[in-house]
C-alpha cells in the first residue's frame, strides 16, 4: 500500500500534494484508532477483515495509475486519477455501503404502523 501511495500516486507533484493532504487528515485520527484496536483481540480481528477491501482498492488504483502513465505519459494525471479512484471506492466501501445497510436494518426493525379506519 505504501508503494502505491508513495511510488505511484504520490510520485508526481500533484500526487504529492494529494498524498500530503490525505496524510494530514489520516494522522489526525488514526493513532487513536490504532491504540483502541491494539488493546483488543476482537477489534484486531474486526479490523483485519474490514481492511480486506482496501487491498482491492489499492490494486485498482495502481492499475489506473500505470494504465494512464503508459497511455498519456502524464504522471500528474495518472496520480490524480489513481487518487480519485481510490477515494471514491473507499467512500463507497466504507461509508455508502454501511449507511445503506444500516438504513435497511433500521427500516426492517421499525414497527410498521397499520392505519385503521
Report pLDDT digits (tens) over 34-77. 998 998 999 999 989 999 999 999 999 999 999 999 999 999 99
Q: How many CB atoms lie within 10 A of CB 9?
A: 30
Instruction: Kindly list the distances between the CA atom of residue 85 and the CA atoms of 36, 40, 98, in Å, as whole numbers in the listed order.
Output: 29, 32, 19
- Whether the full predicted model's pTM is greater than 0.85, yes or no, is no
Rounded-to-integer distance, Cα 37 and Cα 106, Å: 27
Within the chain, where are the H helices?
2, 13-38, 41-50, 52-72, 75-91, 97-109
Domain ranges of the chain: 2-109
Residue 89 has a pLDDT of: 95
Mean pLDDT computed over 18-24 = 85
Amino acid at each position: 500500500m505504501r508503494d502505491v501511495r508513495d511510488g505511484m500516486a504520490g510520485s508526481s507533484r500533484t500526487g504529492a500534494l494529494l498524498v500530503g493532504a490525505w496524510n494530514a487528515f489520516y494522522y489526525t485520527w488514526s493513532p487513536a484508532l490504532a491504540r483502541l484496536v491494539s488493546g483488543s483481540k476482537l477489534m484486531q480481528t474486526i479490523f483485519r477483515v474490514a481492511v480486506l477491501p482496501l487491498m482491492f482498492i489499492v490494486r485498482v488504483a495502481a492499475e489506473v495509475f500505470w494504465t494512464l502513465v503508459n497511455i498519456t505519459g502524464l504522471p500528474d494525471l495518472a496520480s490524480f486519477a489513481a487518487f480519485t479512484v481510490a477515494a471514491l471506492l473507499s467512500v463507497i466501501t466504507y461509508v455508502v455501503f454501511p449507511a445503506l445497510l444500516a438504513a435497511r436494518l433500521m427500516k426492517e426493525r421499525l414497527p410498521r404502523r397499520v392505519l385503521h379506519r
